[in-house]
Amino acid sequence: MKLLAAGGLAMLKVENVRPISYSMPIGDSLVPLNDLLGERIKLTALGVIYCIHCGRKTNKSFSQGYCYPCMKKLACCDICIVSPEKCHYHEGTCREPEWGEQYCMSRHYVYLANSSGVKVGITREENMPKRWIDQGAVQALPIFAVATRYLSGLLETLLKQYVADKTNWRTMLKGGNPLLDLETKRDELLTACREDIQALQERFGLQAIQYCSDADVLAFDYPVLEYPTKVVSHNLDKNPDFEGQLLGIKGQYLILDTGVINIRKYTGYQVELHF
């Protein structure tokens, strides 16, 4: 097999076309993956990991690419990143207040997506539509534009009483997601949560929570030749070689005839890609 690229692995880059165009950053290379569909490829971990923030060598990756000291000190690795309703910037205890001002005190969107079924989630404005593509969603619909990450977390907490807030990645990778009426589901959720949403608007102000009344449902098409009937995940820490025919890319996963792999999980790993 021929060496295509070698170096540090990063999250797949996407371009929202039909089907979605994927590229894999490896070192200084950006490998177009759609061109490799149907080909036999081999991804090999070289046993070396570098922190994506400070660059130091680490025996283990934390929070998808960081060494342990960075994971403990960086605001982007705090619990409020995965649970935004736990944001504590307003309490004056943010690990990096300047980072918090830029990242958390900015416009966020609360949305519905159809990945493994209907789910609610949040994202920053600049991450749309990449956020939905990274989740493997086939549809997405913004519901609210809000002033801060904390506020988006409070709204998400209300809505997740009625719908999931996580993607079942195994179901997502099996494909066959039927298109859903997200607008009707949105209306049902807003009816169920009306009083609680009004209470938040009274607390934070109408301008802080704006309803996306003119938002359209977005649809996404993934480059997949064949979905697996049984999803088997490959772990580069246990087996450094992952080889097989590339059958598709969805979310941050490569789908091979020998299994699937979450590329995001191995950010910072030194790898080689052959085909």
Q: What is the 3-state secondary structure (H, E, C) of 15-33?
A: ECCCCCEEEEEECCEEEEC
Q: d(Cα 266, Cα 143) in Å, to the nearest integer?
A: 32
Give bridge partners of residue 121 from the DSSP assignment.
111
Amino acid type, 187: D
The pLDDT score that the predictor gives to residue 177 is 86
The pLDDT score that the predictor gives to residue 176 is 86
Query: Which parts of the chain sit beneath pLDDT 50?
Result: none
The pLDDT score that the predictor gives to residue 211 is 97
Sheet containing 21-26, strands listed edge to edge, beginning at the edge strand earlier in sequence: 13-15, 21-26, 29-32
Query: What's the predicted TM-score (pTM) here?
Result: 0.96
Q: d(Cα 55, Cα 49) in Å, to the nearest integer?
A: 9
The pLDDT score that the predictor gives to residue 37 is 98
Q: d(Cα 102, Cα 59) in Å, to the nearest integer?
A: 31
The pLDDT score that the predictor gives to residue 133 is 98
